[in-house]
């Protein structure tokens, strides 16, 4: 009888053991108010063991949710390691969400402990007043201010603990982390990542036709660690041995460009807005940056941006696509062998697409008739995916039945796929607005506007924006006899939503166009206001 290979769980503890054994001297560099602070992988993992011990002392047990409300920095990485390696669940909170949504998310997830940056305390304090499940709050002092009564100091907690071992292994399908998406109408939806899905997504990031992470790389993670796990880069750097650079709360373009040059960054990732802002600082940097490629996702990459980076800096932009429900990255626009010798214009047109699906995930497009559409580069359909790091449903949410069917995730994005497998997104099935890589719900804004006594109807559509890709425009029908001003309606919205959700403009129209079944016909409004400027 043939012997079978040994099997061990594909879990985060095994990623951490590999990093500690194979890459102990690799570094994590964090921008702080006092300069760049550097630590080795070995020391970061040692501190993470102390954090796990401290969390146990606070009563955290396997399966408990530990939330973070933090920027990208070393302590956040320590939580990425400690929480899943002790069998608990890391819950990264998006600091850009409105406090009402954040309070709902924390209560829905039943977070027992939250780790908060001192610089973000004013935001968290508003959320904390509305939640009851959080038993302990741990403060990371990233601003040099006085301790807060009723909270635990992060460094003091670690100093009081000795290193204790992580769990030797965790069941593959046990929850490792969770993240909520606001990319649908209604309440945010929770997505849970297993140890297995995280391990496989992490391994995929090192393949040449994905991001190609390797031991020779120095990676700048601009994508927030609170949003879709920073596209998997924290664990990717641990597994593949990349030096990791974290910007902290210093996200200005000049600061990021300085980090790229000073730390010798070879790979960086960010939404299009980030790269629009970085173009000029990088172009005038001395010495020139050592970047070999950059990744861009979160919203469609403007073709002009790709061309400009290649022409001025010689930098290829890897266009990628994914969503919170897909862990997140699924497709990558990389050239094939057959593209050698292809004229530059044809190659550019191919690489402007969202790319080819990674091994481990299946993709299809489905038309309105429910049939799979052909991969001919012309036929359109909704993107549906399934695979090893695709969620199977939302956490405790009835919306799962509509979005997850027969093992396939219905993404809501409409696309074509060409014969080579390159996906090109054409539109979205839901009327969401993606501004700077973050979703804004038009339906939520409409509901709020129609709560004003002077508003009869309101439809919100996306209009193009040179920096943010898309911004909301509110089209309002006044109630008979009422005469609200634009400023009045914006003030009405201001305390109800995050600042960046506020419409760039409000226009008053006689009526909202309707479809044959009485729904708002937003495509008519988008066409009407496609050239609108504020």
Q: Over the stretch 6-57, which tens digit does the pLDDT of each residue have?
A: 888 999 999 999 999 999 999 999 999 999 999 999 999 999 999 999 999 9
452-467 confidence digits (pLDDT tens) = 999 988 999 999 998 8
Could you tell me the pTM of the whole model? 0.86
What's the chain's average pLDDT?
92
On the question of pLDDT at 104 being above 90, the answer is yes
Tokens of 291: 């970047």
353 catalytic residue (yes or no): no
Check 30, 68, 137, 181 and give the catalytic one: 181
Arithmetic mean of pLDDT, 94-116: 95
Question: Which of these is catalytic: 439, 468, 470, 522?
Answer: 439
Calpha distance 123→234 (Å, rounded): 25
3-state percent breakdown (helix, strand, coil) of the chain, nearest 5: 30, 25, 40
Clarify whether 362 is annotated catalytic.
no
In this prediction, residue 450 carries a pLDDT of 85
Look at strands 111-117 and 152-153 and give their pairing. unpaired
- pLDDT bracket for residue 427 (50, 70, 90): low
- What are the pLDDT digits (tens) for 48-97? 999 999 999 999 999 999 999 999 999 999 999 999 999 999 999 999 88
**Catalytic pick from 325, 438, 446, 470?**
325
Which of 155-159, 165-169, 289-293 is the least confident region?
165-169
CA distances (Å), 64 to each of 113, 176, 177, 334, in order? 9, 10, 11, 40
Proportion of the chain above pLDDT 90, given as a percent: 78
Question: Which of 192, 230, 258, 238 minimizes the C-alpha distance to 404?
Answer: 192
User: Which domains does the chain possess?
Assistant: 12-251 (3.40.50.12780), 432-528 (3.30.300.30)
Q: In this predicted structure, what is the pLDDT of residue 515?
A: 60
Residue 431 has pLDDT above 90, yes or no: no
- pLDDT for 184 equals 47
Distance CA 340, CA 497 (A): 49
Q: What is the mean pLDDT of residues 166-191?
A: 87
Angle between helices 195-205 and 233-240 (to 10 degrees): 70
Report yes or no: 347 and 339 within 8 Å, Cβ to Cβ.
Answer: yes
> Is position 155 annotated as part of the catalytic site?
no
Instruction: Judge whether residue 516 has pLDDT over 50.
Output: no
Catalytic residue among 189, 334, 424, 434: 434
For the question of residue 434 being annotated catalytic, the response is yes
Q: How many CB atoms lie within 10 A of CB 297?
A: 27
pLDDT band at residue 148 using 50, 70 and 90 as cut-offs = confident
Q: What average pLDDT does this structure show over 515-522?
A: 62
pLDDT exceeds 80 at position 422? yes
Q: Is the peptide bond before 328 cis (omega within 30 degrees of 0)?
A: yes
CA atoms within 13 A on the CB side of 205: 31
DSSP-derived 3-state class of residue 260? helix
**CB contact at 8 A, 11 and 200:** no
């Amino acid at each position: 009888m043939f012997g079978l290979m040994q099997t061990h769980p594909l879990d985060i503890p095994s990623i951490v053991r590999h990093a500690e054994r194979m890459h102990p001297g690799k570094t994590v560099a964090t921008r702080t108010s006092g300069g760049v602070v550097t630590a080795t992988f070995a020391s970061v993992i040692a501190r993470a063991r102390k954090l796990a011990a401290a969390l146990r002392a606070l009563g955290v047990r396997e399966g408990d949710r530990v939330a973070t409300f933090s920027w990208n920095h070393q302590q956040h990485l320590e939580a990425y390691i400690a929480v899943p390696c002790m069998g608990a669940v890391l819950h990264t909170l998006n600091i850009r969400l409105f406090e009402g949504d954040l309070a709902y998310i924390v209560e829905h997830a039943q977070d027992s402990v939250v780790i908060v940056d001192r610089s973000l305390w004013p935001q968290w304090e508003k959320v904390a007043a509305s939640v009851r499940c959080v038993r302990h709050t741990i403060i990371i002092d990233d601003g040099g201010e006085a301790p807060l009564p009723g909270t635990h100091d992060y460094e003091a907690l670690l100093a009081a603990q000795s290193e204790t071992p992580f769990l030797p292994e965790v069941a593959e399908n046990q929850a490792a982390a969770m993240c909520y998406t606001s990319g649908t109408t209604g309440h945010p939806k929770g997505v849970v990542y297993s140890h297995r899905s995280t391990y496989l997504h992490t391994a995929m990031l090192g393949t040449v036709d994905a991001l190609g992470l390797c031991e020779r790389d120095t990676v700048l993670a601009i994508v927030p660690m609170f949003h879709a796990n920073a596209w998997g880069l924290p664990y990717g750097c641990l597994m593949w041995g990349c030096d990791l650079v974290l910007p902290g709360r210093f996200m200005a373009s000049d600061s990021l460009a300085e980090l790229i040059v000073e730390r010798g960054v070879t790979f960086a990732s960010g939404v299009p807005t980030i790269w629009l802002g970085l173009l000029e600082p990088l172009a005038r940097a001395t010495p020139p940056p050592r970047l070999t490629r950059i990744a861009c996702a979160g919203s469609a990459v403007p073709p002009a941006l790709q061309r400009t980076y290649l022409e001025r800096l010689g930098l290829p932009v890897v266009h990628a696509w994914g969503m919170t429900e897909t862990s997140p990255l699924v497709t990558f626009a990389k050239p094939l062998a057959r593209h050698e010798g292809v004229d530059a214009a044809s190659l550019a047109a191919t690489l402007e697409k969202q790319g080819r699906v990674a091994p481990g995930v299946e993709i299809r497009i489905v038309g309105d008739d429910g049939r799979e559409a052909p991969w001919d580069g012309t036929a359109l359909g909704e993107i549906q995916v399934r695979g090893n790091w695709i969620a199977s449903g939302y956490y405790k949410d009835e919306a799962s039945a509509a979005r997850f069917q027969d093992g396939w995730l219905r993404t809501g994005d409409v696309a074509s796929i060409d014969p080579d497998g390159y996906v090109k997104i054409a539109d979205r099935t839901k009327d969401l607005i993606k501004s700077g890589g973050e979703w804004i719900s038009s339906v939520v804004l409409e509901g709020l506007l129609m709560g004003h006594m002077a508003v009869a109807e309101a439809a919100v559509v996306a209009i193009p924006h040179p920096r943010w890709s898309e911004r909301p425009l509110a089209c309002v029908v006044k109630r008979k006899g009422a005469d609200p001003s634009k400023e009045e309606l914006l003030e009405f919205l201001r305390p109800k939503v995050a600042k960046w959700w506020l419409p760039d403009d409000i226009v008053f129209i006689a009526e909202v166009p309707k479809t044959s079944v009485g729904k708002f016909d937003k495509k008519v409004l988008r066409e009407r206001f496609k050239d609108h400027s504020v």
